Amino acid sequence: MSKLIINGKNKLYGKIEVKSAKNAMLPLIASCVLLDFEVGFLNCSDIGDVSVMLEIIKSIGGKYRYEGDTLFVDCSSVYIPELPCDLSKKIRASVFLLGPLLARFRKVSAVTPGGCNFGDRPIGMHLDGLRKLGAEISGNEHLYLRADKLKGSKIVLPFASVGVTENLIMASCLADGETVIVNSAKEPEIVCLCAFLNRLGAKIYGAGTHKITIHGVKKLTNKITYFKPITDRIEVGTYMLAVLNTGGELEISGANFLHNTSLIKKIYNNTCKISLESDKIYLKCCGVGNALGYVKTAPYPAFPTDLQSPLLAYACSLSGKTIIEEGVFKNRFSIVNELKKMNADITVEGCRAIVNGTNRLRGAVLNAGDLRSGAGLIISALGAEGVSEISGLEVIERGYADIDKKLRLIGADVTKG
Ligand code: UD1
C-alpha cells in the first residue's frame, strides 16, 4: 500500500488548477451508454474512480481514449448488458449504469456496488425508482433487471439522493411519456448531467430544483463533439481548507465559487481574505481562525458531506469549540480516531462530532479509511508539527489527481512512499 509522508508546518503559497469533477464525470460517462456515437469530455484528469468506470465501459464493449486532457468515450459498440463483478465492487458509481443500460437494452444484470467505506450505502431507492419506470427486478447480491418498455412515471424520493436522481434521469430520458422526479437532488453535478443530455436531444426540465420533469424521446441524436463538465468543488474546498490550516496564500483557478458558497460563508472573515472571480478563488490567511460554531451537512446547497472530514480536520486547529453534524451518511466519522492519534480533542455523539480546537496537533502514523477522510488527514498533517505518514494513498487518489505533486508545487513538504 502506498503512502504519503508529510512534514508539517510549511505555509502554502502559489496557484492550483482544478479540473473536471469526479462526481460529474462518473454519471456523464455512464450516460454515454445511451449514445451510439463518441463524445469528448474536456479538462479531465486521471483519477482512480474515473479509471474504474472507464474499465467497466470497456468490459461491456465500449471504448475510451485520452487526447491530452480530453477524454473520448464511445459506447456505440456496447453489447453486454452485464456489469462485471470485480470492477463494480470497486466503485459505488457502477450503480449509475443500471438506468442507462436498462434504457438501451431493456435488461441488465449487476452486482450490488462497492465504494467508499463509511457505513451502509443501500441502493433500494435506485431500484424502487427503476421499478416505478416499469423494471422488474429480481435477485439480491446479483441483480437482474428487465423492462419490456420503460414508461414515464411520478417518482417521489424519500431523500434527495444525488445518485438516484441521476440514475432515474438517465433511465427516463428514453422512456415513453413524462417522468416527474419529486424531491430530486439539486447538486451542480446533476445540473451538469442534464445540460449534457439536453444538448444531445433529451428533454429535461427543472434541473437544480426539487422537481425534475423529463419528456422521454426515442433517441438522443444531436451529435456533439465536446462537452466541458463542471470543475471539482470538493477538490476546491479541500485545497481551501488546506491553506487555511497551514497559512499562506493560494489562487485556485477553474473554481466556480458559486458551487462552494456554503464553505465560503463558513470561513468568510475567519482571519482570511477571499476574493472571488468567475473562475478563480483567491485566499489569503491572516492568522489562526476562530472555531466554526455549528455546521451540519445536508444535500446541496447546504454544507457538503464530502467536505465534512476536511472541515473536521481544519476545526481541530482552530481556537474554541466546533460542532459538526453529519446529515447524509450517519457513520462518516472514520477520520476521528486517526485525528486523535495526532492529539486532536474530538468526541463523537451519534451523528455529531464535537471538536475542541488546539494548535498542538503533531505528526503521526495514519491510515486513510476513505477518500475524504484521507483528504482530511492530509490537511491535518500539513498543519501539524513533525512528520506524518498516511497510508492508503490509492484511496485518496480515487478522487484527487496528483495530490502530492500539486501540494509540492505550493510549498508543502510531501513525498510518496
Ligand atoms: C453522491 C456522491 C458522494 C456524496 C453523496 C452525497 C457521486 C459519485 N458520489 O453519492 O460523493 O457523498 O452523493 O452528496 O456523485 N441512500 C439510500 N438508498 C439508496 C441511495 C441512497 O438510502 O438507494 C441514502 C444514502 O445511504 C445516504 C443518502 O441516501 O444516506 C444520500 O446518498 P446519495 O445522495 O445517494 O449518495 P451517492 O449518490 O451514492
Measured in Å, residue 333 CA sits from the centre of ligand 1 at 16
Measured in Å, residue 70 CA sits from the centre of ligand 1 at 27
pLDDT at 111: 85
- Name every residue whose Cβ is closer than 8 Å to that of residue 188 and which is 6 or more positions away in sequence: 24, 208, 230, 233, 256, 259, 300
**Amino acid letter, 286:** C
Question: Has 173 been annotated as catalytic?
Answer: no
Q: Are 390 and 374 in contact (CB under 8 A)?
A: yes
C-alpha to C-alpha distance for 384 and 230, rounded to whole angstroms? 33
Quick one: 180 exposed, middle or buried, by C-beta within 10 A (0-12, 13-18, 19+)?
A: middle
Query: In this structure, which long-range contacts are made by residues 327-331, counting pairs with CB atoms below 8 Å and at least 24 apart in sequence?
Result: 327/296, 327/297, 327/298, 327/302, 327/351, 328/297, 328/298, 328/299, 329/118, 329/119, 329/121, 329/305, 330/119, 331/118, 331/119, 331/120
pLDDT per 10-residue tile (average), the chain, 417 residues: 94 97 98 97 95 97 97 95 92 95 95 67 92 94 93 97 98 97 98 98 98 97 95 98 96 97 88 91 89 96 98 95 94 95 96 92 96 98 97 96 96 96
C-alpha to C-alpha distance for 253 and 212, rounded to whole angstroms? 31
pLDDT at 290: 86
pLDDT at 115: 63
* Active-site residue identified among 116, 194, 285, 316: 116
Phi-psi region of 384 (alpha: psi -120 to 50; beta: other; left: phi over 0): beta
Task: Give the tens place of pLDDT for each residue, 75-128.
Answer: 999 998 899 999 999 999 999 999 999 999 999 999 888 765 555 668 999 999
pLDDT at 289: 81
pLDDT at 271: 78
Domains assigned to the chain? 3-18+231-416 (3.65.10.10), 22-227 (3.65.10.10)
Q: Are 193 and 27 in contact (CB under 8 A)?
A: yes
> Which atom of ligand 1 is nearest to 121's Cα?
26
Angle at 88 between CA 84 and CA 89, to 5 degrees: 120
With a 6 Å cutoff on the Cβ, whether 145 touches ligand 1 is: no
SS3 label, residue 412: coil
Cis amide prior to 301 (ω within 30 degrees) = yes
| Phi–psi pair at 85, nearest 5 degrees | -60, -55
For the chain, what percent of residues have pLDDT higher than 90? 90
- In the numeric block, which cell numbers belong to residue 298? 445536508
SS3 label, residue 284: strand
Task: Tell the residue nearest (CA) to atom 26 of ligand 1.
Answer: 121
pLDDT at 270: 74
Q: Got the DSSP string for 42-69?
A: SS----HHHHHHHHHHHHTT-EEEEETT
Task: Tell the residue nearest (CA) to atom 32 of ligand 1.
Answer: 161
Place of cell 417522468: 179
Task: Give the tens place of pLDDT for each residue, 19-31.
Answer: 999 999 999 999 9
pLDDT at 268: 80
Measured in Å, residue 209 CA sits from the centre of ligand 1 at 17
Measured in Å, residue 163 CA sits from the centre of ligand 1 at 6
C-alpha to C-alpha distance for 272 and 268, rounded to whole angstroms? 7
With a 6 Å cutoff on the Cβ, whether 131 touches ligand 1 is: no
CB environment 383-394: b (16+ within 10 A), e (fewer) = bbeeebebbbbe
C-alpha to C-alpha distance for 220 and 218, rounded to whole angstroms? 7
pLDDT at 113: 80
